[in-house]
Every structure is written in structure tokens, then in C-alpha cells.
Structure 1
Amino acid sequence: MPGDIVRPSAMYKQLADRLAEAIAAGEYGPGSMLPSETQLMERYQVSRPTVRSAIAELRSMGLVESQHGKGSFVRTHGLPAAVIKRTISRSSKGFALGWPGEEAELPAVTRGEATGITATLLDRDEADVFITDRLLKDPATGARATHRTVIPFDVAEQLPTLAKHPDAEPADIYTALTAAGHTLSWTETVTARNALPDERADLDLTDGSPILITYRVTTTEDGRPLILEELRVSADTAQLAFHITVK
């Protein structure tokens, strides 16, 4: 029968592959609900744990999302609604960012140490840093984003305004660094992965949702890192836009 599963290979992976093929063939279109656990058990003659593991596999593949009490739905891969412009401009009034977003809640400031990728990008292993976390919202679409600014203590000590107000807006930080005599440049790296539990909560995402992560490093003219910014957004509801200038 077409629905039969060949044993004894990993059952849940076989089932996940069959369902992925059905999604690719259009049997289950974007936004449509997959058959219930009971229906899948009966159709493929497998156990409930196998069905649940297969659905989890589909979530990890980014093909479906599960809604508590409703079921599993095929993800819609349309054009993201929010366009986040990753641009920086400067005028006589200071710096401006292409997409500042609106703060959904007050920023949270903590002190910590630079570790992992933060230490690598700032070139400061276990250095003391100020960390400011913001929850942002796109006013037009409601898409959410988290933004983190990391300022090393040695940078803040050179600028009393940063030491006193580490939660300053990034554009204001750029202005302060420039006023201190720095000629700034920026490097940005973008990566993607499935959201972690705390990220799903902050961004209001379901299991298996992919996110985009950008790391923007502000450096001096000779390449010394000054501050780090991290932006996390849903890959389904937002897209990043960059303006490229050739000199």
C-alpha cells in the first residue's frame, strides 16, 4: 500500500520523509493542517510516539509549525512582511539608522563578561561589559525583534556619557564615539538557525521557527572593535535589506 512504512529503519524519519514529500508535492499546501496523530497512526500503521517524533522532525526542518490544541500546519513561505533596513546615515544632527523599530518595553541593562562569539567579535576574552537588551516592534506589521548592545568597560571608561548611560540608543553611541575622535566603520555578519525557547517567547514564535541573527561590530579606523550589536528577528515575518555603495 502507498502508505506503508518499510521496517526496520528509523520509523519516525521514514514518516517525516513521507510527509515532507507530500508537502513538496502540494498534497498539503501552505497553511493547511496535517492529519491528526490518530489519522497518521492509522494510515501508516505506526505508534503515537513515532508520529510525534516525525512531526518534531518536520518542525526542525522548518516545514511545519504546531499550535497547541489545534494541530500541526504547513508553514507559509511567503515574502516576509517587515523590511528591516540595515543602513547607517549621518548628517549634521548625528547618525540615523534605517530601521530603529519601536520599543515594546523599557530596555534592560546588566553587567557581564564577554564570552563565546561576543568575546571573539569584540576581541576581548572575558572582559567586563555593559549589556543592554531591547524588545522592538515594527510599527507597520507588528513584527518583533530583540536588540542587544554590548559595550566593553574599557570603551565606556573613555566616554563618561556611555559609562553613565550604557542604554543609549545605538545612533547616539555612534555620535559619542565620533565626538571622542574615532573614525567609525562597521562590519555585519548574518546567520540563521531555529529559535531557542527564550527567543520564541520574546519574538512570539512557535516551535521550529527560524530566526535571522545579525552581528554588527563598530570599529575604529584601524579595525579595533568598540561595541557589538545583535539583532534577532523571525525569518518568516522579517527580511533584511542592505544598501551597497561601490566607490
Structure 2
Amino acid sequence: MALPSGLLGPLDPASDRAVFRQIADQLREAIAKGRLGEGEKLPSESELVEHYGVSRMTVRNSLSVLQGEGLVVSEHGKGVFVRLRPPLRRLASDRFARRHREQGKSAFTVEAEAAGVRSEVDSLEVGEEKPSADVAARLGSSRKVLVRRRRYLVDGRPVEFAASYLPLDIVRGTAITEPNPGPGGIYARLEESGHRLDRFDEEIRSRMPTPREARTLQLASGVPVFHLVRTAYDTEGRAVEVCDTLMAADAFVLSYQLPAQ
């Protein structure tokens, strides 16, 4: 069966680049230029074998390259598909705006609504523990903290896992210690208890996930993560929360608006 005209070209017999890499290059270009769109099925192994005149193993090696880059996903019995683009735009300059809390919305809920997707939280754990050295340094205390761990899903797919560490002396007796802290989330409850938020400091790194992290977020091979650590400060300059977040890099676009002066 012939492929659509212009989708893929011929191999270059004079190239010193391995044949399977040439095929991967052409498929990658077709994805980048939109000839193969998001969620679209790639030509089958048989079609690629016929088009290029190569062995099935060569084709499989080419597809493995693209899977390792996180560009495509394989569905057993169905074929190989172009991975969907990031559905969530993370607006760093807006996501923690007070107006969202006053409307009873968390930052993640606001982003999901803007993207037109369904959001939910699972794997929720709330408890007390001794903080790590890094968290203690950020909070300015090595005393026990309240920890809130949760996983965020978009349309049923895990995209983010976060752990918030909060000083016990400011959260005892508040809804922050409950599984559901109420409308607006923990930041709304912090402000209600007298800790009006002043600023958030964030650090973001990109890396490959550990095997455990890949299982938690159900990541395909080759998909990296954003590792974000945020510290929230109140108007008195006290650190009132450290949030350690792991985000599937293929599920987010990080968007920033920066003043020019």
C-alpha cells in the first residue's frame, strides 16, 4: 500500500547516516511540520517496509528512536501514534493570583478550565513528618511539618505529583490538616488564618525521571519531567510552605510574562 504523496521521501544511499536513523529523521520531520498530526497514526510497519525497501527490524529500530524521544506512543494491537501536545499552559504570572482563591479555585483548577480539560486529584496523603534537610533550610526550621501529597490527573491521565510541607504551628486546627482543605485550597486557608501571602519563589529543573517517578506519572519511555520547588512567603517574610512538584514535561507549557523594566 502506497503512502500519501509527500508524506515521506526516499532514503539517501550516499549518506553515511544509518538507514534506521534516516527513516527516523523523515518521520520526525513529518511530525514537526504537521504532516503527521497530534494523535494521528503513523504508517504501519508493513507500509514503511514497502516504502523504504528495508527489513522490519530496521523499521522497528526507527520507531524505537522516536519513542525514546517521546514523540510517539505505541498502543498494543493498534499501532504507533503521534503523542498529543501539552494540554496545560502554566501561567506563572497569574496562577497564584488572589482573585482565583477568592473564587474558590486552586491554581491547577484554573489551568485545567482554561485548557478545557477535566481535572481531579488522587493518591492524597496527609500526615506529619520530619522534613528533609533541603525543606528544613527553606522553611528555616527542622521541626516536624504537615505534609500533603497528591497526584493530579487531566482527563484521567496523571500529569503532576506534588508534596507540600507546612509548619505545624500555623496549620494546627485549620482545614489544611483535612484531606479536602476547602474552596481555594491551602493558600486560601493560610490567608484566612492571618498569613497573607506576599510572594512565591520557584526553582525549575528538567531531568529524566527515576523508575518510581515514571511509574507514578505513567510516563512513556523518553519523556522527561520538570522538577519544581516553590516556597511561599507571607507578608512578614516567613516561609509558610514548600511545595516539591514533579510534572510530566509532555503535559505542560510553561508560560511567563516578564516586565521590561
Instruction: Give the TM-score category using the shorter length.
Output: 0.5 to 0.7
Match of 1:66 among 55, 71, 74: 74
Task: Indicate whether 1:80 and 2:87 are aligned.
Answer: yes
Can you list the C-alpha shifts for 1:109-161, whole angstroms capped at 9, x where unaligned? Answer: 3546526xx649836799865432223456xx666543523325xx2246533
Counterpart secondary structure, 1:161: coil
Q: Matched residues in 2 for 1:28 and 1:91: separation? A: 38
Match of 1:33 among 11, 31, 41: 41
Q: CA deviation at 1:218?
A: 0.6
Q: CA deviation at 1:185?
A: 2.1
Q: CA deviation at 1:72?
A: 0.9
Q: CA deviation at 1:164?
A: 8.9
Moved more, 160-169 or 180-189: 160-169
Can you list the C-alpha shifts for 1:175-229, whole angstroms capped at 9, x where unaligned? Answer: 4477366764212345556776656665566555566665432124575533222
Task: Indicate whether 1:165 and 2:177 are aligned.
Answer: yes
Relative to 1, partners in 2 of residues 1:227 and 1:5: Cα closer, same or farther, differing over 3 Å? farther
Match of 1:135 among 151, 172, 177: 151
**Number of the residue aligned with 1:185:** 199
Counterpart secondary structure, 1:57: helix
Figure out how many residues of one structure are paired with residues of the other and give that number.
Answer: 239
TM-score (norm 2): 0.60
**Number of the residue aligned with 2:116:** none
Match of 1:148 among 162, 167, 171: 162
**Number of the residue aligned with 2:98:** 89
Residue pair 1:218, 1:228 contacting (<8 A) in 2 also: yes
Q: Matched residues in 2 for 1:44 and 1:223: separation? A: 67
- 1:98-247 correspondence to structure 2 within 5 Å: 98-100=107-109, 103-105=120-122, 107-109=124-126, 111=129, 113-114=131-132, 119=135, 122=138, 129-137=145-153, 145-151=159-165, 155-157=167-169, 159-161=171-173, 165=177, 169=181, 171-172=185-186, 175-176=189-190, 179=193, 184-190=198-204, 206-208=220-222, 214-221=228-235, 225-231=239-245
Q: CA deviation at 1:105?
A: 3.5
TM-score (norm 1): 0.62
Residue pair 2:69, 2:223 contacting (<8 A) in 1 also: no
Relative to 1, partners in 2 of residues 1:174 and 1:217: Cα closer, same or farther, differing over 3 Å? farther
Q: CA deviation at 1:107?
A: 1.6
Residue pair 2:207, 2:226 contacting (<8 A) in 1 also: yes
Relative to 1, partners in 2 of residues 1:3 and 1:128: Cα closer, same or farther, differing over 3 Å? farther
Counterpart secondary structure, 1:20: helix
Residue identity in the other structure for 2:83: R
Once superposed, what is the RMSD of the aligned Cα atoms? 5.0
Q: Matched residues in 1 for 2:142 and 2:49: separation? A: 51
Identical counterparts, % of pairs:
24
Relative to 1, partners in 2 of residues 1:144 and 1:241: Cα closer, same or farther, differing over 3 Å? farther
Unmatched 5+ stretches in structure 2: 1-8, 113-118
Q: Matched residues in 2 for 1:108 and 1:227: separation? A: 16
